[in-house]
Amino acid sequence: MQMFINFKLKVHAAKDAGLDTVSKFKYELNGYRAQLARPYMTDQSKLDELMKEAYAHMQEEVRASHILIECKPEALAADTLKAWNKAMEARKKILAGEKFADVAVKYSTDPSVKKNFGDLGYFTAFQMVYPFEKGAYDTKVGETSMPIRTKYGYHIIQVTGRRPARGEIHVSHIMVKPQKEGDKDMAEIKINEIYQKALEGKQTFEELCSLYSDDVTTKNKGGELPWFGTNKMVSEFEEAAFGLKADKEISKPFKTTYGWHIVKRTGYKPVPAYTAVEKEIKTKVSKDTRAEQTRASFLKKIGKEYGFVYNEKYAPVKAARVAELAAIRATAIKTESGLEYNIIKKGAGVKPADGANVYIHYAGYLEDGSLFDSSYEEVNKVCGKYDKNRADQNGYQPFPFQYGKKDGLIPGFIEGLYKLSFGDKAVVFIPSKLGYGERGAGNVIPPNANIIFEIELLEGIPPPVAKESK
């Protein structure tokens, strides 16, 4: 509310001072508008769906290994395509029988791969970025996923285990740091002595912790640690803690990279009922990458309701286009990357030379038949997207491109383009991972949207079509 008040006061003050047209003020004004509008740009039904999916994931823990091929969200198309091809190359080796760990060491750019060989251990909802989490939960044990795009790059995921969620546990611990004298592990000797004292019961666990623990942050608190669940502690500590079946039970001594430990269970909580964590889940969903899906769904809905995308007048056109594209797709060729293409008009069969200047006519569609952009004037008119200002500026023209370039266009478009010869026209079905991915493209292409392009490869700009006199 305070932001809104400040916003209104600034507007009035700027108008009174005659500053409301200054570029700096207009920039700030747009920023206020974006911040004010963003919380309301949520599709409640989509939000509910994502919340329930998250809770379903919370019921189960997944163990997975991964191979990361780094690719920044702002990477050029050529670099994106290179990363995708490298990920597919790694996957092909795994499917051919090579050990995942060996392939991971060779290909993965995750710095931890030298230690864990790609193994991430068990995890549950909200512990990984959402596309990775969903990809893992959607993959069966023993299977290897197709490349999955996140903000870090492309991931190949192999799921190695599933188990019911463990919930959260509360423990206290005594730690003895590594100490060696010759061949003797003095820390092991000391922790065993402390363990025997704990079993005898002459001193409480808390007293023993105060006397002997090397963990300075907890020794004066009885060794008490915060509540934790899966993937919050090193695996040895986690296994020992969750192996305790009752409160007050004490573990046998065990070793981690930090030293030797004994653990006492002081509390346990299973995964709560949905109603108990609904608010918490809502907050988490609203803050992570899932939120982009709710906003995209919201924009799609209001676009449909108010005619921002297609009004009812063009609904038959859209439906007809969906049917036409489906028929074309039925006989399309699918490439290894997942791209599908169908050459619907053949030219002379002459391939451009690398470095040659070519011209590209195009029309881009969403899967629901919505046209989001086209260089064809007539296509824009038919689909209700005609822009007279663009036409007056001769903006409906094929765009120039240097054949052989691997950047400047999305990977799927480039791959489809290089299937063509001069004069060819093709329809190319581009999966999200070869398009705009989880980012989408402004308010035009939603996150994770599959898109379709009609592409025509030309040697030059066609002569202008004579317009009828009025």
Is the separation of the CB atoms in 366 and 463 below 8 Å? no
pLDDT of 3: 43
Q: Is 147 exposed, middle or buried (0-12, 13-18, 19+ CB in 10 A)?
A: buried
pLDDT of 20: 43
pLDDT of 320: 84
Residues in the chain, overall count: 470
pLDDT of 388: 87
Q: What residues form DSSP beta bridges with 345?
A: 425
Rounded to an integer, what distance in angstroms lies between the CA atom of residue 292 and that of residue 290?
5
Rounding to the nearest 10 degrees, give the CA dihedral for residues 389, 395, 396, 398: -170
pLDDT of 90: 96
CA 289, 290, 291, 292 dihedral sign is positive
Is the separation of the CB atoms in 350 and 450 below 8 Å? no
Which residues does the chain have with pLDDT short of 70? 1-43, 182-183, 294-313, 463-470
Residues with Cβ < 8 Å from 263, sequence gap 6 or more?
171, 172, 173, 237, 240, 241, 244, 250, 251
pLDDT of 2: 45
pLDDT of 292: 74
pLDDT of 450: 95
pLDDT of 422: 95
pLDDT of 17: 53
Alpha carbon distances (Å) from 15 to 8, 86, 140, 350: 11, 56, 61, 62
Is the separation of the CB atoms in 433 and 149 below 8 Å? yes
Query: Alpha carbon 218 to chain centroid distance?
Result: 37
| pLDDT per position as a tens digit, 134-193 | 999 999 999 999 999 999 999 999 999 999 999 999 999 999 999 877 667 899 999 999
- Could you give phi then psi for residue 94, rounded to 5 degrees? -65, -45
- Could you give phi then psi for residue 21, rounded to 5 degrees? -105, 0
